[in-house]
Amino acid sequence: MSRILLLSGPNLNLLGTREPEIYGTMTLEEHVESFRAVAASFGAEVDHVQSNFEGVLVEALHAARETSDALVINAGALTHYSWSLRDALDIFAGVKIEVHISNPAAREPFRHVSAIAAVVDGSIAGFGHLGYLLAAYAVRDLLSARSE
């Protein structure tokens, strides 16, 4: 059985009420539960960590090196400037997928840069809730390809 770490960065705890015109009306818990359901359909278990603090996310990534086969991260605003998160992701040897509910490239210029994109297997952005489901399937297929 595979283990996936789902990481949620700053302000994602406010999903459902924060700028619903951009992020939709689903809560973070709803996103996590549907991600878990897809992962369970291919035999994976999901651990979820949400924090508004960069160090907590870095610590979770360090711990995941021993416990997880893959991770999916929505780093929120940390995407654009967190070099410590980027380095922690780089150290993780498993499958890594970056996901964003909105499309950062279609938003403010400071959101056009991802400090973490270079150290993940792929990025999924702009598909709303579907992005989490696509990330789960990407993890499944990438883990399968690595085991062949």
**pLDDT tens-digit readout, 32-85:** 999 999 999 999 999 999 999 999 999 999 999 999 999 999 999 999 889 999
Q: Looking at domain 10-76+86-107+121-147, does it have CATH number 3.40.50.9100?
A: yes
pLDDT tens digits, one per residue of 14-37: 999 998 888 889 999 999 999 999
Write down the catalytic residue from 31, 48, 100, 132.
Answer: 100
Domain boundary assignment for the chain: 10-76+86-107+121-147
pLDDT level of residue 97 (50, 70, 90 thresholds): very high
Q: Is 100 designated active site? A: yes
Task: Give the DSSP per-residue string, 17-52.
Answer: TS-HHHH-S--HHHHHHHHHHHHHHTTEEEEEEE-S
d(CA 27, CA 12): 9
| pLDDT beyond 80 at 108 | no
Tokens standing for 78? Answer: 């940390």
Tokens standing for 38? Answer: 């897809």
Write down the catalytic residue from 23, 31, 48, 132.
Answer: 23
Q: What is the pTM of this model?
A: 0.93
Look-up of token digits 């700028």: 19
Look-up of token digits 């992701």: 89
In the DSSP assignment, the letter for residue 96 is: E
d(CA 100, CA 87): 19
